[in-house]
Amino acid sequence: MRVDVDSAGLEVLSREQCYELVGSVPIGRIVFTEGALPAIQPVNFILDGEDVVIRTGAGSKLAAAARSAVVAFEADSYDEQTLSGWSVVLIGRAEAVGQDEHGRIAALRLTPWALGPRPHYIRIRPEIVRGRRINPWAPAV
Amino acid sequence: MRVDVDSAGLEVLSREQCYELVGSVPIGRIVFTEGALPAIQPVNFILDGEDVVIRTGAGSKLAAAARSAVVAFEADSYDEQTLSGWSVVLIGRAEAVGQDEHGRIAALRLTPWALGPRPHYIRIRPEIVRGRRINPWAPAV
C-alpha cells in the first residue's frame, strides 16, 4: 500500500476519500470570522454534490457571518483506543440558497437537531478540499 | 431543573460545565486565520488550569499562525442516537511556552497522536468561554 504522507506525518487523503469520509458523519463545524475574532459552530449538514448545505435561523450569527464570506467547513472522527482518525476541511464561499431551490433542498431531508425555526439554507461551494488521516495503519474509524 | 436556553434553543453552559466537558475529550480543534482564510486543525491537548496547551512542530502552519494571534479552541461531542451533544469554544491569545516552563508542561504528559517531532508547546489563555448543549433533556453524552 502506498500512502502519501505530509511533513507532520499525516496521510494526505484524496478528494474522493475526503468526500466519502465527510459523508459518513452527521455533524461538521463551520469556521468563520465574527467581529475580527475566529468563530466556530457545529452544524448538521448534507452534501449536495460537492457542496455542503446547512440550515440556519434568520437571526443567527452564522447567517450574518456567512453571507457571501469565505468559510471553512470541517468534519472529523477520532478513536482514542487506536489513536487514529481523520479530518477533512473544505474552504469556499458561503451563499444563501435561493427560494427557487428550497423545494429541492428540502427533499434532501436536512433535519436540524436543535429546536426552533431554521428556515434558511446556506450553501458552501468548496474551492479547497483538504484531508488528513492520522496513524493510517490503525484500523479505520 | 432550570436550564438557561439561548435564542437558537440551545442550553447555555456555565464556565464550570464548559471546563468539565472540555476535560472529558482527547481531541479539540484550533481555529485561526491563515493567509486571510479561515483555518482549523484538530489537536490533542491538555488543560493547565484554565489554559489549553498543545504541542506542535517547528515548521507547522499552526505554530506560525498561532504566534500571539487570537485563536479559538473548540471541543465537542455528539450522539446520533439521541440527537444530543455539546460544544465548547474558548477564545484567547496563543503564545509559545517558554523553555523555563517546558519541564513542568512535559510532566503533564501531552502525547501527540501523530508521529514526528513536536518540540514546541503553545498555550492559549482563554478570555471568552462559551458552551452550548443541544437537546439538554436527552441523556448526557
Check if B94 contacts A (Cβ < 8 Å): no
Contact A42 B85 (CB under 8 A): yes
Question: Residue A125 has what pLDDT?
Answer: 93
Q: How far apart are the first and last CA of chain B?
A: 18
Task: Kindly state whether residue B8 falls inside one of the protein's structural domains.
Answer: no
Task: Kindly state whether residue B40 falls inside one of the protein's structural domains.
Answer: yes
Task: Kindly state whether residue A140 falls inside one of the protein's structural domains.
Answer: no
Q: What is the span of the domain harbouring residue A17?
A: 11-134
Q: How far apart are the first and last CA of chain A?
A: 18
> Whole-angstrom Cα distance, residue A123 to residue B36?
21
Question: Residue A103 has what pLDDT?
Answer: 86
Residue B86: CB atoms within 10 A of its CB come to 26
Tell me the three cell numbers of residue B50. Answer: 484554565
Contact A71 B38 (CB under 8 A): yes
Task: Kindly state whether residue B5 falls inside one of the protein's structural domains.
Answer: no
> Whole-angstrom Cα distance, residue B76 to residue B86?
5
> Whole-angstrom Cα distance, residue B37 to residue A63?
18
Question: Residue A105 has what pLDDT?
Answer: 86
Question: Residue B72 has what pLDDT?
Answer: 95
Question: Residue A8 has what pLDDT?
Answer: 75
pLDDT band at A40 (very low <50, low <70, confident <90, very high): very high
Distance from CA of A17 to the nearest CA of B (A): 18
Question: Residue B64 has what pLDDT?
Answer: 62
Q: Which residues of B touch A78 (CB under 8 A)?
A: 26-27, 42
Which of B40, B48, B42, B38 has its CA nearest to residue B28?
A: B42
Question: Average pLDDT of A5-32?
Answer: 92
Please count the CA atoms within 13 angstroms of the CA of A81 that sit on its side-chain side.
3
Best interface-test mutation with B: which of A31, A78, A118 has the largest number of B CBs within 10 A?
Answer: A31
CA-to-CA separations, A87 to A25, A34, A73, B41, in angstroms, rounded: 11, 23, 11, 8
Task: Kindly state whether residue B21 falls inside one of the protein's structural domains.
Answer: yes
- Measured in whole angstroms, the distance separating CA A65 from the mean position of its chain's CA atoms is 16
Question: Residue A138 has what pLDDT?
Answer: 59
What is the domain-level CATH number for residue A44? 2.30.110.10
For A68-91, the pLDDT digits (tens) are 889 999 999 999 888 889 999 999
Contact B38 A76 (CB under 8 A): no
Check if A42 contacts B (Cβ < 8 Å): yes
The secondary structure of B24-50, three-state, reads CCCEEEEEEEECCEEEEEEEEEEEECC
Contact B57 A83 (CB under 8 A): no
Contact B27 A70 (CB under 8 A): no
> Whole-angstrom Cα distance, residue B51 to residue B22?
11
Question: Residue A109 has what pLDDT?
Answer: 77
Task: Kindly state whether residue A4 falls inside one of the protein's structural domains.
Answer: no
For A48-69, the pLDDT digits (tens) are 999 999 988 765 556 665 668 8
Distance from CA of A1 to the nearest CA of B (A): 19
Question: Residue A47 has what pLDDT?
Answer: 95
Contact B42 A114 (CB under 8 A): no
Task: Kindly state whether residue A73 falls inside one of the protein's structural domains.
Answer: yes
Question: Residue B137 has what pLDDT?
Answer: 65
- Which residue ranges in chain B fall short of pLDDT 70? 1, 58-67, 115-116, 136-141
> Whole-angstrom Cα distance, residue B2 to residue A126?
41
Question: Residue A99 has what pLDDT?
Answer: 84
Check if B74 contacts A (Cβ < 8 Å): yes
Residue found under cell 482549523: B40
> Is pLDDT of A129 > 60?
yes
Question: Residue B75 has what pLDDT?
Answer: 98
Task: Kindly state whether residue A6 falls inside one of the protein's structural domains.
Answer: no
Which of A62, A126, A65 has its CA nearest to residue A91?
A: A126
Domain count within chain B: 1
> Whole-angstrom Cα distance, residue B37 to residue A93?
11
Question: Residue B132 has what pLDDT?
Answer: 94
Distance from CA of B8 to the nearest CA of A (A): 6
